[in-house]
Each structure stands twice: as C-alpha cells, then as structure tokens.
Structure 1
Amino acid sequence: MEMIQWDEKKYNLEDFIAYWRDYAQKNASWFKKIDDEIKSNPDFHEELAAKINEVIEKALTEPPTEQEMKALDSLIAQLGMDDIDYTCRMEAKYHIERLKEKLTSQS
C-alpha cells in the first residue's frame, strides 16, 4: 500500500498479488524451507492465500493507537496541513513516516 501511497484508486489486485509472490519467494525465509513439491500443490496456495488474507484483514482493521493519532495531529499542525484521512494503524504509520520526512526536508 505504501507503493501506491495508500491511494485506493491506484490499487491493482494483480500488482498486489505479484508483489506478495515476489516477496515470499525472495524475502520470506520460511518459503525457502518448503519443498518444491509442496509449493506446486494447489492446496498449499489456497492455504497461503487464506493466511495472507488474514494478515491483510488484521492490518487494515487494527485502529491506530492514541499515540499515533497524537503524533499525526502534531505533524499536521507543524506542517500547517489540512487533516489527513486514515482508517487503520498501518495507514497512520505510513502518514507519520511520510510527514516526518517532509518536516525534515523543510528544515
């Protein structure tokens, strides 16, 4: 989501799936430990997709903490910006990092 700057209009399911496939194959240590025969089994991919969906669901529904909301409010005020809409903790974290970078670059 960070790659599309949390812009739902830019979301593309095929790109998202390709990203996760690439990530699993190159970065997930557990994936390298799985036998190729298992990887070629359609049941494995169904179970993997279900697990990924669980993780995504959790990430997109976990509310931001009070501290994160305060940090965003502070950064928005410091930058003199309009309020930012965010719906979950991951999106809040994205905006916090983005605004911190913006604040640093203005200094």
Structure 2
Amino acid sequence: MEAFKTIIFLVNIFSALAVIVLVLLQHGKGADAGAAFGSGSAQGVFGAAGSANFLSRGTALAAVLFFASCLGLGYFSANQSSGLNFDQPAPTTQSVPAPAAAPATGQVVPD
C-alpha cells in the first residue's frame, strides 16, 4: 500500500510540473505561434491544427492526472490506519494517585 501511495505522489508531482510547463508554453490569444519557431509557421512542428490543439490537449490531460492524483492522495490521507490521526484523542499516561490524607494526630474534636 505504501508503494502505491508513493506512485500516486510521484504522478502528482510530475503532472503538476507538466501543467506549469504547458501553461507557460502557450501563447495568448493575440500572439502568433510562429514567433516562437522563427519566421515560419508552427504547422511543421505540431501538425496542420497548429500548437493550440497540442498544448491545450496536453494541458487538459496533465490537469486531469493532477486532480485525480490529488483525490487519490486525499483518500489515502483520510483513511490512513497508522501514523498521526487528529480525529482520535491523544493517548494518556497513567496518573499517579494523590497521596492519602495526613494521619490523625490523636486530637479529639468536641461535638
């Protein structure tokens, strides 16, 4: 189970980095995709549809992987059986009983 959590954690890290990189690679609505590849167009690199479809689909796929891995990590975190669990009270130590009252000195108290 621990290995599965590690795999999900790694998928989470790599998908987060992929989302960051793919978003930074995308151009705004007014920018030319050809400016990033010199004076030519981007059709030779990404196909006839251009870079918008490739980058947007890659971003969508990375985002789906990221959200799915976040949900998986949240599920494992909520259902953990060992380790620190904040829902249960902290374990208490045995308390030492209070000392008994001091012995009587033999004085008699009148009624």
* TM-score, normalisation: structure 1: 0.31
More helix by percentage: 1
Point out which structure has higher relative CO (alpha carbons under 8 A, 6+ apart). Answer: 2
> What TM-score do the two structures reach when normalised by structure 2?
0.30
